[in-house]
């Protein structure tokens, strides 16, 4: 894993922009992260795979200390402790909360990551993770896994956790509309002249605004999480 790009440019804040290509996924992801942190995050908290700490403003009381760690330094130089998720540089049982969003799919040994998460948590401490289910390859070649809710439940239970909550970040309509938009925006590099024209239309005439708003409305109106983009899981350490 030492070959990873240093000072990687990552998400810097949790602001929503309706004209953004990733508005749909971020709408549901940010909403659920905010809810989970407000409800479950307490005490000394580790942001595991923190990058540029885009959610740092959400860590308020009863969170008393906030530390970010990552395998490399981020573009904003905000990583406090540099270490892999499989070899955390912390003593046993020092954290009340471990938060990790869109990270576990990039860890080649995700089982060791969960074992380390358990190790650094206090008994009854909470792990708050977001985990992708449907997404294109990204940060290649360090993109190893996708997880169903049943796989998530199995892994967390195996490594000493009790599941408190697993919820989908949006349903099938959000996934379909977002993945189509991702495909369309990749046309600049790979697509035909026609697909490039459609992409130009989306941006120039701001059709993307109505597309994104309609996708969110449709997903809420006819919610079905047989397909989703991500899962949010809250798990409590019960042994380890």
CATH classification at residue 143: 3.40.50.150
Full-model pTM: 0.91
For 193, the domain range is 173-224
What phi and psi values does residue 225 have, to the nearest 5 degrees?
-95, 30
Q: Are residues 47 and 152 in the same domain?
A: yes
Question: What is the count of structural domains for the chain?
Answer: 2
Closest CA to 233 of 82, 129, 154, 142: 129
H-state helical runs in the chain: 23-40, 110-120, 149-158, 172-185, 187-190, 193-204, 207-221
Tens of pLDDT along the chain (240 residues) come to: 446 666 566 787 878 999 999 999 999 999 999 999 999 999 999 999 999 999 999 999 999 999 999 999 998 999 999 999 999 999 999 999 999 999 999 999 999 999 999 999 999 999 999 999 999 999 999 999 999 999 999 999 999 999 999 999 999 999 999 999 998 887 555 556 666 677 777 777 688 999 999 999 999 999 999 999 999 999 999 997
Taking a C-beta distance cutoff of 8 angstroms, is the pair 118, 156 a contact? no
Q: Are residues 153 and 51 in the same domain?
A: yes
Q: Are residues 71 and 50 in the same domain?
A: yes
Residue 10 lies in a domain: no
pLDDT for res 84: 98
Q: Are residues 116 and 232 in the same domain?
A: yes
Residue 22 lies in a domain: no
| Residue 123 to residue 126: CA distance in whole angstroms | 9
Q: Are residues 92 and 163 in the same domain?
A: yes
Q: Are residues 32 and 135 in the same domain?
A: yes
Q: Are residues 103 and 151 in the same domain?
A: yes
| Residue 216 to residue 178: CA distance in whole angstroms | 10
| Residue 28 to residue 133: CA distance in whole angstroms | 14
Residue 3 lies in a domain: no
Q: Are residues 212 and 127 in the same domain?
A: no
Q: Are residues 54 and 98 in the same domain?
A: yes
pLDDT for res 213: 97
Q: Are residues 159 and 195 in the same domain?
A: no
Q: Are residues 183 and 102 in the same domain?
A: no
Taking a C-beta distance cutoff of 8 angstroms, is the pair 11, 51 a contact? yes
């Amino acid at each position: 894993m030492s070959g990873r790009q240093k000072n990687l440019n990552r998400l810097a804040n949790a602001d929503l922009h309706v004209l953004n290509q990733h508005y749909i996924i971020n709408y549901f992801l940010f909403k659920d992260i905010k809810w989970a942190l407000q409800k479950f995050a307490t005490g000394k908290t580790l942001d595991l795979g923190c990058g540029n700490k885009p959610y740092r403003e959400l860590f308020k009381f009863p969170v008393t200390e906030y530390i970010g760690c990552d395998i490399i330094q981020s573009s904003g130089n905000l990583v406090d402790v540099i270490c892999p998720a499989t070899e955390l540089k912390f003593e046993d049982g020092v954290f009340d909360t471990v938060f990790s969003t869109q990270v576990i799919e990039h860890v080649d040994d995700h089982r060791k990551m969960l074992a380390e998460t358990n190790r650094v948590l206090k008994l009854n401490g909470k792990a708050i993770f977001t985990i992708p289910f449907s997404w294109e390859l990204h940060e290649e070649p360090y993109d190893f896994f996708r997880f169903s809710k049943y796989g998530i439940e199995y892994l967390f239970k195996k490594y000493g956790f009790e599941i408190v909550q697993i919820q989908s970040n949006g349903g099938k309509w959000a996934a379909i509309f977002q993945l189509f938009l991702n495909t369309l925006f990749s046309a600049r590099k790979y697509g035909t002249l026609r697909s490039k024209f459609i992409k130009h239309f989306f941006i120039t005439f701001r059709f993307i605004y109505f597309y994104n708003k309609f996708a969110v409305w449709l997903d809420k109106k006819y919610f079905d999480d047989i397909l989703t983009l991500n899962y949010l899981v809250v798990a409590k350490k019960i042994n380890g």
